[in-house]
Amino acid sequence: MASNYTKTFPVSWQELHRDAKALAWRLVGNGPWKGIVAVTRGGLVPAAIVARELDVRVVDTISVKTYDHMTMGAATVLKAPAPDTRSESEGRWLIVDDLVDTGTTAKVVRELMPGAHFATVYAKPAGKPLVDTYVTEVSQDTWIMFPWDTEPQFVRPLAETNGTRGA
C-alpha cells in the first residue's frame, strides 16, 4: 500500500456483489446499452455483475496500467476496446470499473470512448468528476482492499498479542 493512504477500506466478495448490483440499479433506466467495456482488471467482476443485471450480452475490455500496489506511473493502454465501441449507433456503451481514484485511468478511457457512460462502484474525490455514475464515495486517503487482493488468514487474539491472556 502506498504511503499516501492512511486508511483502509476492506471489501468482501458479498459487499462487492451488493455494491455492483446497486450500480446496476442506478443504470437500469439509462440504456439501452450497446455493450459494456470493463476496465481491467478491477472492473471485470463488477462488469460481469452489471452485465447480468442489465441483461447485456456484449462485453469487451480495455486494459490501462497506471500503478501497481506500491507506485503510481504514467498511464499505458495495454489493450484498447474494439473499434466499434466508439460508435453511438444502436445505443451507448457502458464503461464499468471498480474504482475511480486519481482519475488517471478514467481520463485515458474517456479519451478513447468520449460518448460512453462511465460507471464505477467506488469513487474518490479526485476522480469523481470523471464518472457519470458511482455507488459509494471513499476518501482520497483510503486504500480499498478488494477481495481479489486479500486472503483470509489466522490472526492471534488481542489478549495473546498484548500479554493479557485470560485463564
Where do the domains of the chain lie, and which CATH numbers do they carry? 7-161 (3.40.50.2020)
Q: Which residue has the cell 455483475?
A: 49
At residue 161 the predicted structure's pLDDT band, cuts being 50, 70 and 90, is confident
Q: Which of 19, 84, 97, 149 is catalytic?
A: 97
Q: Is 97 a catalytic residue?
A: yes
pLDDT band at 70 (very low <50, low <70, confident <90, very high): low
pTM confidence score: 0.85
Chain segment 120-156, per-residue pLDDT in tens: 999 999 999 999 999 999 999 999 999 999 988 888 8
Q: Please state, rounded to an integer, the average pLDDT across all residues of the chain.
A: 90
Placement of cell 474504482 in the chain: 99
- Closest to 93 in 3D by CA, of 116, 122, 74, 113: 116
pLDDT at 116 exceeding the cut of 70? yes
Helix (H) or strand (E) holding 44: helix 44-54
Q: Which of 19, 55, 68, 101 is catalytic?
A: 101
Q: What percent of the chain has pLDDT over 70?
A: 86
Of these residues, 98, 132, 141, 149, which one is catalytic?
A: 98
What is d(CA 106, CA 98) in angstroms, rounded to the nearest whole number? 11
Q: Is the pLDDT of residue 89 over 70?
A: no
Residue 50 sits at φ, ψ, to 5 deg, of -65, -45
Cis peptide before 41 (omega within 30 of 0): yes
Is residue 141 part of the annotated active site? The answer reads: no
